[in-house]
Amino acid sequence: MKEILENTWVKRCVSIFTAAYAAMIALFTYATFQYNLVFASGKQATFLIIYAIASIVFLLLMLYTRDIFMTKLLSILMLPIVFFLLLFNLGNGNWTLIIPPFVVALVIFFAASTSESLKVIMGTIYLLLYVLGIVAYIICNMLFQGSAIETPLDMSLDPDSAAYSYYKTDLVHLSKVTNDDNTYSPDGKFRFYMTDVKDSDGRVKIYVVPASEDITLKFFSLKQKGIKRVVTTKGTRGIVPDVGWTVKKDKQGKQVLYLCYKLAPTDSWKEAKVTEENMPKKNYWEFLGIS
């Protein structure tokens, strides 16, 4: 058994296999650049356990093959990949996704049998990358996003959040309005969502986003980001608007989708036409607060 484990070709095969972990992290990085990752209700803990176990197993395999070229290459590549994973998930606080691969990348960087001079050079570069990158991220978000804090309004609203106190007496209505059966358009191409805005005035915003490209998996959903249309910014903070979809026929007899909303019980109904043509182009820099 010892001879098999010490065999160079066995180590090379195992080392190539460990590249699957780096590929998985790269896939998560790309996915969270394009989409918002939202964990399914009650599935985050299970995902974390599986994710952590997989990370530990692959770390042990990397340590076993730390003198093989592929593992040494991965030890150099993992930290910048995890940096972008960190950057794309800082805003939504998906630490479940970030911490396990960061630990793996950090440990294998120091444990791999790469030359000490290369470790010093790359370590310095990566330290600057992380420090300056995070500082630049914070500055960009402060400059472009301002001091306003937006909190999504749905049944996942955190009771400890500042926004919760404004809506705690109207949670039944909030549940009805933000139910998936109501938020998704009849054709499934769009969905709306609302946010509580904490700024100098306080207000409620209603957005429409494309939904046909959303991906639903066992533990989480990937929801398209970077494409959102502001329907209204004039909602009153503390009042849950009535919102819903309707389909009407235009003069040519074609069916047209509208989002109907009433910002307060005493207001009249308003509507906004929703088509693929009047949706904005994808904003790839949303994670920096650029709208």
DSSP 56-95: HHHHHHHHHTTTSHHHHHHHHHHHHHHHHHHHHHTTTT-H
- In angstroms, the Cα distances linking 12 to 57, 104, 106 are 17, 19, 22
Strand partners, 287: none
CA–CA gap between residue 130 and residue 135 (Å, rounded): 8
Angle between helices 95-111 and 8-34 (to 10 degrees): 150
| Side-chain half-sphere exposure of 247, counting CA atoms within 13 A | 9
Residue 168, Cα to own-chain centre: how many angstroms? 26
CB 198 within 8 A of CB 205: no
If 0-12 CB within 10 Å is exposed, 13-18 middle and 19+ buried, where does residue 267 land?
A: middle
Query: Which two tokens mark 174?
Result: 């909030």
Question: What's residue 75's pLDDT?
Answer: 96
Residue 165, Cα to own-chain centre: how many angstroms? 26
Enumerate residues 6+ apart whose C-beta is below 8 A from 154: 174, 178, 193, 194
Question: What's residue 160's pLDDT?
Answer: 87
Task: List the domain boundaries for the chain.
Answer: 2-145, 149-288
pLDDT in tens, the chain (291 residues): 777 777 789 999 999 999 999 999 999 999 999 999 989 888 999 999 999 999 999 999 999 999 999 999 999 999 999 999 999 999 888 899 999 999 999 999 999 999 999 999 999 999 999 999 999 999 998 888 777 888 999 988 889 888 999 999 999 999 999 998 999 999 999 999 999 998 878 899 999 999 988 899 999 999 989 999 999 999 999 999 999 999 998 888 889 999 999 999 999 999 999 999 999 999 999 888 887
Beta strands in 211-254 (DSSP E): 215-216, 220-224, 229-236, 242-249
Count of all residues that appear for the chain in the document: 291
Whole-model pTM: value is 0.86
CA–CA gap between residue 212 and residue 86 (Å, rounded): 27
Question: What's residue 23's pLDDT?
Answer: 97
Query: Which two tokens mark 248?
Result: 């009407």
